[in-house]
Amino acid sequence: MDTTGKEISHHGKQGIVQMAKSLILENSNEKVPDSYDARVFANDSSVIVLFDLPIHFAAKNTAFYYGATVDVISKTFSYSPIVNTKIQMDAYEHLPFYKPSKEDMKTIEFVVGGTTSFKKHRETLSARNESITVIETDTLYRVQVISQSQSSQYNVDKRTGIPSEHRHRHIKTESLSEQGYLEIIK
């Protein structure tokens, strides 16, 4: 018997999130950290769980997932990797999920505006459905800010903290809500 989105929706958001975490662990042998934001969307044939951490810092020689998506009905998966290494990697190798260290948090605070805490940046980004990715190079940090309607990029000098080379473009993405999914909040 096929399971429908309506049937799974009766488990509530927390129950569905736990199902999705179990499926990801089974699929990738990697555990989604509890610190990741989870959003659940459903229609008659799909229940999609999005796991995300809105701030990511890719130090040199690192590779990790900063997000994952799973449809708990079809058991299909999508992982969001960042690879900041010159080492060749197997495309089928699963990566660990990103967990920011205290040093990462300090670096992010330095890069995106020294007076605001990592926690406050994260809350603001989550509320606005935006994300920031900071990628370390030898001399600078490449920063990318993405929202549903815009992508911005700039560089920050590692020594001075001075930003340069600002670029942005308008983009149009269609949210799951705009595609007919209902968000399960409780």
The predicted-structure confidence for 32-56, as pLDDT tens digits, reads as follows 999 999 999 999 889 999 999 999 9
Across the chain, mean pLDDT equals: 88
pLDDT at 157 over 80: yes
pLDDT at 118 over 60: yes
The mean per-residue pLDDT over the stretch 87-97 comes to 80
- pLDDT, mean of residues 156-160: 92
Amino acid 62 reads T
| Torsion angle, alpha carbons of 93, 99, 101, 107, to 10 | 90
Looking at residue 5, its pLDDT comes to: 67
Q: Grade residue 1 by pLDDT with cuts at 50, 70 and 90.
A: very low
The confidence score (pLDDT) of residue 115 equals: 62
Q: How many Å apart are CA 24 and CA 61, to the nearest integer?
A: 25
Quote the distance between the C-alpha of residue 17 and its chain's center.
15
Count how many Cα atoms sit within 13 Å of the Cα of residue 76 in the half-sphere of its side chain. 6
- At 77, list the tokens: 């998966």
**What pLDDT sits at residue 73?**
93
Pairing relationship of beta strands 62-71 and 55-58 according to DSSP bridges: unpaired
pLDDT value at 72 more than 50? yes
Q: Rounded distance, CA 29 to CA 96, Å?
A: 9
